[in-house]
Chain A
Amino acid sequence: MTRVSAILPERGLADRLSTVFWRRPKLLLLLLISPPLLWLGVVYLGSLAALLLQSFYSIDEFSGVVKEEFTLKTYGELFRAANMDIIIRTLLMSTAVTITSAFVAFPIAYYAARYARGRWKAVFYLGIMLPLWSSYLVKVYAWKLILAKEGIITWAAEGIGAGFLLDAVLALPWVGGNSLSTSFIGTWLVFVYVWMPFMILPMQASLERVPLSMLEASADLGASRKQTFRTVVLPLAMPGVIAGSIFTFSLTMGDYIIPQIVGTSARFIGQAVYQFQGTAGNIPLAAAFAMVPILIMLVYLALAKRGGAFDAL
């Protein structure tokens, strides 16, 4: 019998490297996570900090020069009637978009998680993701055409004799307007359409993790379908609903293109930030405006946590 070495020979640099990593697993971890950590820490959190800093500066009304002194004056400006209007309008729109998305997305996500199998699951993912493949601008302009006074919705409504219904909707105070494409209803519809995948996917992921036996246990103990939904399905799906709502809510809060293309001339936070940092050159006020959605999201998450939305995590 020939003597065989218990240790196999090292083959090249890759083998030697992998031996080093095997002996010091933390070194590999460090190498893997340092680029994203640098990205998140320096580029993202750094710019956020810079933004926060800017929001505490103010602008000299006469010269238009940014005064680098700490003051709450800029935040005070947010409470002017015109600016407050923008904040409240954006907040209401984001809330309406989020609630609508949640209601529309839930049955779709539930179907996908509970019933879709094999090929139908693929069809589901494709159907949800496909709209994301085309440019956001193309979709928004398409919607402008669909919703326009000469667009397909008006045409179809008149064709089936429901023109009066459309007129009644457009005659509603605040949300109505000359046509769907120049009303808040139009803005709301486009927002719901564009952000829908971001609501469906997290919801579907959380519903998928609810085992069937849990629903059976609930029925076994005497719960009706309604009771099972309220006491088991909804609480277990809540982390997904919250995750989805964070997407739809914050995306709506920050968007400045959709309200510019579809809707009234009234401004939203995103448009205000865009104008203040651009044409108006008022970086501090733009920064203060940009802090508003962040603060609102923090309050929202704190409330959700207190309400027990993350108990199932």
Chain B
Amino acid sequence: MTAAVSFHRVSRHFGSVRAVDQVNLTIEEGSFFAMLGPSGSGKTTCLRLISGFESPTSGEIAIFGQDVSHVPPNRRSVNTVFQDYALFPHMNVRDNVAYGPMVAGVGKAQRHAKAEEMLALVKLDGFGDRKPGQLSGGQRQRVALARALVNEPRVLLLDEPLGALDLKLREAMQDELKALQQRLGITFVFVTHDQGEALSMADHLAVFNEGKIAQIGTPAEIYDKPRTRFVADFVGSSNVLPPEVSERLGGGKRWSSLRPEALRLVAPEGARLAGTVTGLRYLGAGTRVAVDIDGTEIAALAPSGADIPGVGAAIGLAFDAGALHVMEEA
């Protein structure tokens, strides 16, 4: 496997702020790679380092093995779907999509044919004559996608591509993006702060925190075996247990995590964990029950239909031996 994108000790500082700090990263060709993190964690700066809108303060960035650290954006075989789509308002949809071939000097008939082909790919046939202002958010998103794909990039970058869409549309677009990536076989790198989106779409993901990569791996690895408290909490809002509690549960004196869905509500007598219910949040598919156990709040996800105790009730929590994940952080 060739590395589509690789970072070698890459840093990007803005004044005294280390937006990206000594990041090493390899994105394999043909993968759907997600960069996940809260705002200000450096994920967007990393994306902009790949597209060329930022230059690294130190370190090297390579695309397909070639050092691009000092190559301007217009000479990189990488295209971007912008968060605000950045469609040109004075051009119709066809000319927007044909923009890449146009600046490359492709003739009108040929580039328009190419644009129509791309519009068909994103299911927008017949929209060529409209202006971006006449389209809905979802349609604009597709035009941005078609415009970025028209140059046949080897890596497609997506900056929070679904952030502005409503839930229903977002889920439909997630499936479509995934299918499109598998069909085209090119590398997709996308930035998101939505952990559900990252887990469901990506085949590999990197979790960013404070300019560094906290963990990198497959969605299952990240979800089941978080390495740090931050990852456990950020991805899937796991219960993070301090060393003393995990030791009592037989996990050694390190931080550990327990997924809310791995916990079952049982009678308090004889349970491994016992405490009082402090809060309930109805989620539709289940109810999140917050339990106070000797000052540590632990959340359990009770499936719908289960008996839900009231706030203040004494309750016990049970879990299978394998559910407790002891992290590397001591």
Given contacts A211-B84, A221-B147, A312-B89, contact A216 B53 (CB under 8 A): yes
B306 at the binding interface (Cβ < 8 Å): no
CA distance A148 to B87 in the complex (A): 53
CA distance A232 to B102 in the complex (A): 13
Closest A residue by C-beta to B78: A220
Distance in Å: Cβ of B150 to nearest Cβ of chain A: 8
Given contacts A231-B103, A236-B90, contact A220 B84 (CB under 8 A): no
User: What is the 8 Å Cβ interface bit string for chain B, positions 80-124, against chain A (1 contact, 0 not)?
Assistant: 101110111110000000011011100000000000000000000
A214 at the binding interface (Cβ < 8 Å): yes
Q: Is the CB of B79 within 8 A of A221?
A: yes
Q: Is the CB of B72 within 8 A of A219?
A: yes
A224 at the binding interface (Cβ < 8 Å): yes
Which of A213, A224, A236 is in CB contact (< 8 Å) with B74? A224
B286 at the binding interface (Cβ < 8 Å): no
Q: Is the CB of B99 within 8 A of A221?
A: yes
What residues of chain A lie closer than 8 Å to B80, measured between beta carbons?
216-217, 220
Q: How many pairs of residues, A versus B, come closer than 8 Å at their CB atoms?
A: 67
B73 at the binding interface (Cβ < 8 Å): yes
B69 at the binding interface (Cβ < 8 Å): no
Contact residues of B between 44 and 87, Cβ < 8 Å to A? 51-53, 72-75, 78-80, 82-84, 86-87
CA distance A312 to B148 in the complex (A): 22
B22 at the binding interface (Cβ < 8 Å): no
Contact residues of A between 282 and 313, Cβ < 8 Å to B? 308, 311-312
Which of A214, A227, A231 is in CB contact (< 8 Å) with B86? A214
Distance in Å: Cβ of B35 to nearest Cβ of chain A: 18
Q: Is the CB of A221 within 8 A of B72?
A: no
Which of B86, B89, B100, B148 is in CB contact (< 8 Å) with A216? B86
Q: Is the CB of B147 within 8 A of A213?
A: no
What residues of chain B lie closer than 8 Å to A216, measured between beta carbons?
51, 53, 73, 80, 82, 86
Which of B83, B89, B99, B104 is in CB contact (< 8 Å) with A218? B99
CA distance A186 to B180 in the complex (A): 65
B287 at the binding interface (Cβ < 8 Å): no
B151 at the binding interface (Cβ < 8 Å): yes
Distance in Å: Cβ of A114 to nearest Cβ of chain B: 15
Q: Is the CB of A219 within 8 A of B74?
A: yes
What residues of chain B lie closer than 8 Å to A311, measured between beta carbons?
90
Q: Is the CB of B79 within 8 A of A220?
A: yes
A222 at the binding interface (Cβ < 8 Å): yes
CA distance A311 to B78 in the complex (A): 30
CA distance A234 to B87 in the complex (A): 16
What residues of chain B lie closer than 8 Å to A224, measured between beta carbons?
74, 103
Distance in Å: Cβ of A313 to nearest Cβ of chain B: 9
CA distance A224 to B73 in the complex (A): 9
A122 at the binding interface (Cβ < 8 Å): no
Q: Is the CB of A222 within 8 A of B104?
A: yes
Given contacts A222-B74, A224-B74, contact A217 B100 (CB under 8 A): no
What residues of chain B lie closer than 8 Å to A236, measured between beta carbons?
88-90
What residues of chain B lie closer than 8 Å to A218, measured between beta carbons?
88, 99, 103
CA distance A213 to B144 in the complex (A): 12
What residues of chain A lie closer than 8 Å to B103, measured between beta carbons?
218, 221-224, 227, 231
What residues of chain B lie closer than 8 Å to A213, measured between beta carbons?
82-84, 86
A163 at the binding interface (Cβ < 8 Å): no
Distance in Å: Cβ of B228 to nearest Cβ of chain A: 33
Q: Is the CB of A232 within 8 A of B88?
A: yes
Which of B52, B83, B90, B100 is in CB contact (< 8 Å) with A221? B100
Distance in Å: Cβ of B191 to nearest Cβ of chain A: 14
What residues of chain B lie closer than 8 Å to A219, measured between beta carbons?
52-53, 72-74
Distance in Å: Cβ of A207 to nearest Cβ of chain B: 14
What residues of chain B lie closer than 8 Å to A220, measured between beta carbons?
51, 73-74, 78-80, 148
Which of B83, B90, B102, B147 is the most central at the interface, judged by chain A CB atoms within 10 Å of its CB? B90
Distance in Å: Cβ of A117 to nearest Cβ of chain B: 14
What residues of chain A lie closer than 8 Å to B86, measured between beta carbons?
211, 213-214, 216-217
List 17 contacting pairs A-B, 8 Å CB cutoff, sorted by A. A211-B86, A216-B51, A216-B53, A216-B80, A216-B86, A217-B147, A219-B52, A219-B73, A220-B73, A220-B148, A221-B79, A221-B148, A221-B151, A222-B100, A222-B151, A311-B90, A312-B89
Given contacts A213-B84, A214-B86, A231-B99, 8 further A-B contacts (CB under 8 A): A216-B51, A216-B53, A216-B82, A216-B86, A218-B99, A221-B147, A223-B74, A227-B103
